[in-house]
Amino acid sequence: MMYKGWDWKTFFKNQKGKKDQWLILLLLGILVLVIAMPISEKESKDVVSREDKATDSYVQQDQSDTAYARQLEMRLEEVLKKVEGVGNVSVMITLSSSSEKVVEKDREISSDSSRESSGGAAVSSRSSSSETSVYYGNSGDEVPYVKKEISPEVEGVLVIAQGGDNAVVIGNITEAVQALFGVDTHKIKVMKSK
């Protein structure tokens, strides 16, 4: 006894003119299956790892700028404590921007020139240049080569000192901050502590 199931040949013969529609429907079904397939665990980890590295870089940048400002504050406090009439002192420094890293670049320059001297003095020249960043590290963990790092500029300075009510002390503190950080006078505030 033979099993009588679907006979695909007769089914498609009865679907005159609808073969193209069935083919499109089949292809759409395959496309939906491919889209719905989850990405492999390794690819997923790589994507998350790259996102984490970018976030970590930003957080590290913010922390390093905060540490830089705190280091400047502590050094300024130590120096000002030694000045006559200042007494106990506390300093707060604000930065105008974050630090900037300058990456090394390869430059490729090409130039063409041509000259015509028969009758007219037509001179034409053309030059072009291109830059690409220099990277180092493994192929998956390449990092740009940092040529130099520019520290952020000091935006403003607040000094709270015991001698902050004496005009001479205020002048000395203001001059010291200007000499050290190149900050304008209107961005330096000296106040008396309690």
Calpha distance 182→155 (Å, rounded): 10
Please give the helix or strand (H or E) that residue 22 lies within, else none: helix 19-36
* Domains in the chain: ranges and CATH: 41-99+151-192 (3.30.300.30), 103-136 (no CATH)
pTM for this prediction:
0.49
pLDDT, position 3: 53
Residue 45, pLDDT > 70, answer: no
Nearest to 193 by CA among 177, 168, 170: 170
pLDDT, position 122: 60
Q: How many residues does the chain have?
A: 194
Mean pLDDT score of the chain: 76
The token pair at 48 is: 């998350």
Per-residue pLDDT band for 117 (boundaries 50, 70, 90) equals low
User: Averaged over 155-179, what is the pLDDT?
Assistant: 92
For 74-122, the DSSP string reads: HHHHHHHHTSTTT-SEEEEEEESS--EEEEPEEEEEEEEEEEE-SSS-E
